[in-house]
Amino acid sequence: MGIYQSKKHPNIAILGGGMAGLSSGYYAKKKGLHFKIYESNNRIGGNSVTLKHGDFLFDLGAHRFHDQDEEVTKEIKVLLGENLKKLYVPSQIYHNGRFIDFPLSPFNLMKNMGLRPFSKAVVDVGSSRLRKRETNGSFEEFALHTYGKTLAEIFLLNYSEKLWGVSCDRLSPEIAGKRMKGLNLRTFLVEAILGQKAKTKHLDGSFYYPEMGIGTIAKKMGEFSGKDNILINSKITKIFHNSNRIEAIEVNGQERIDTDEVISSLPLNLLLNIMEPSPSKEILTLAKGLRYRNVILVALFLNKESVTKAATVYFPGSGFPFARIYEPKNRSKAMSPPGKTSLVAEIPSQQEDEIWGLEDEKLIESVCSKFAQIGWIREDEIIDATVNRIYYAYPILEIGFEEKVQEINSFLKGFSNLKVSGRNGRFRYAWIHDMVRYGKEIIEEYA
């Protein structure tokens, strides 16, 4: 027996209460549709959340809200009002004991690399563009061709391998996505040749950020959607289908709930694996080939006013377990109590990696020793530390992933009442504003 009665409006089951699920709920509410969001965790927001540790706040990863979709930005501005601030906080890259500005600025780079390596980098950038491009379609080939050997090796190849856990000759150029904006080649050359006076407009250090952390966006969307429409601690364990329609979902392995429409933001492979009857062996094999990256987050709370001025500091070097760190206070003062600050390190890894299995104490020790080595902290400044493990942090975009996703999508399109959203749900390297856009577009499809 279903929990819904009305047949006038579609009864929509939204699977997952991250930004994708919440955005669908938000627009469904605006349209007056009947819906329920099912979230397995005891809180909403998925990976876009802000956690509290004593008097400190920190996000589950170095989040910012990017102003990339005018309509979405406008919507979020209205939803958050005064809480949303526009910031300009550039980042840095740690290389050979020095902090290099990111987005890259030739003058800063020259100062930190030295004139010779810098000149080589500039020549490399030019000559790599003139060389005929190899065609194995990998990120490595793309990076070498676009940025030249020197810059690619220092800033891109090591970092990307650390981030994705896959060698760059197996990664798709799609990973470049919006991450490369700070390595704008045209800007780089114009400034290198014409000098600092020609300093082009770097927009990449600017972003929006809510006063009380990125999780405010999810929180406000949840409030708008209505408490009664959100079911936390509700894990979807089966999706029953018949005659090309999803008929019902199973929650927590117990309750069967009939549904008219389904919007799934569950990771794509999970969705396929809980379908009943099971999809074909071919589809399940394709799903198995789609892998996700996990991230370990080590947060240190410090009795110290400030450590860095950067939004994020990237660590491409293999001598550091973390790929990047951020200081929440540099996004909003409210993230730390007065006179104190915090640092959060992101360690990308897979479940089978040794580091994933390390005890929290060992992880904290390893991060602390690296921070001490850089000269950032002293032992007596550490108030506390905590470790969070993020599963399904991002999809790993290996060469050929598009074809797999396309085939899976053709199979899923066969279900007349199923729509798919989400970063892991669509297996795309997408952002919060994309989640909002997906939600808007999906809900527009309902009459």
Ligand X SMILES: Cc1cc2nc3c(=O)[nH]c(=O)nc-3n(C[C@H](O)[C@H](O)[C@H](O)COP(=O)(O)OP(=O)(O)OC[C@H]3O[C@@H](n4cnc5c(N)ncnc54)[C@H](O)[C@@H]3O)c2cc1C
**Beta-carbon-side half-sphere exposure of residue 377 (alpha carbons within 13 Å):** 23
**Near ligand X by CB under 6 A: residue from 25, 28, 36, 46:** 46
Cβ-Cβ contacts under 8 Å for 31 (sequence gap 6 or more): 443, 446
Q: Which stretch binds ligand X (CB under 6 A): 44-52, 119-127, 185-193, 253-261?
A: 44-52
Nearer to ligand X, 118 or 314 (CB): 314
Residue 172 within binding range of ligand X, rule CB under 6 A = no
Tokens, residue 96: 């050979």
Please give the size of the binding site for ligand X, defined by CB under 6 A. 39
Q: Is 328 in the site for ligand X (CB under 6 A)?
A: no
Residue with tokens 């897979």: 350
Residue of 445, 432, 430 lying closest to 76 (CA atoms): 432
Letters for 329-358 (x = contact with ligand X by CB under 6 A, - = none) are -----------------x------------
Dist CA 267 CA 408 (whole Å) = 12
Task: Provide CB contacts within 8 A for 358, sequence distance 6+.
Answer: 366
Nearer to ligand X, 235 or 291 (CB): 235
Considering only the stretches 59-67, 116-124, 223-231, 313-321, report the one whose residues sit in contact with ligand X under the rule CB under 6 A.
59-67
Q: Check binding of 395 to ligand X (CB under 6 A).
A: no
Among 124, 246, 424, 439, binds ligand X (CB under 6 A): 424
Residue of 262, 430, 442, 443 interacting with ligand X (CB under 6 A):
430
Nearest to 241, CA basis, from 226, 229, 259, 253:
259
Compose the 234-253 pattern: x for residues touching ligand X by CB under 6 A, - for all others: -xx-----------------
b (16+ CB within 10 A) / e for 354-389? eeeebeeeebbebbbebbeebebbeeebbbebbbbe
219 interacts with ligand X by CB under 6 A: no
- 394 scored as a contact of ligand X (CB under 6 A): yes
Which 267-286 residues touch ligand X, going by CB under 6 A?
Answer: 270
182 near ligand X, judged by CB under 6 A = no
Could you say whether residue 94 binds ligand X (CB under 6 A)? no
**Residue 196 Cβ vs ligand X, minimum distance, rounded to whole Å:** 29
Site residues (CB under 6 A) for ligand X, limited to 65-84? 66
Restricted to residues 362-391, the positions that interact with ligand X (CB under 6 A) are 390
Asked if 222 interacts with ligand X (CB under 6 A), we say: no
- Which whole-number Å values give the CA distances from 415 to 106, 266, 376, 407, 409, in the listed order? 53, 16, 54, 14, 10
Tokens at 39, concatenated? 């979230």
Is residue 190 helix, strand or coil?
A: helix
Single-letter amino acid code for the residue at 191: E
Alpha-carbon distance of 150 to 157, in angstroms, equals: 10
Please report, as ranges, the residues that interact with ligand X according to CB under 6 A. Answer: 15-21, 38-41, 46-48, 61-64, 66, 235-236, 265-266, 270, 295, 346, 390, 392-394, 422-425, 430-433, 435
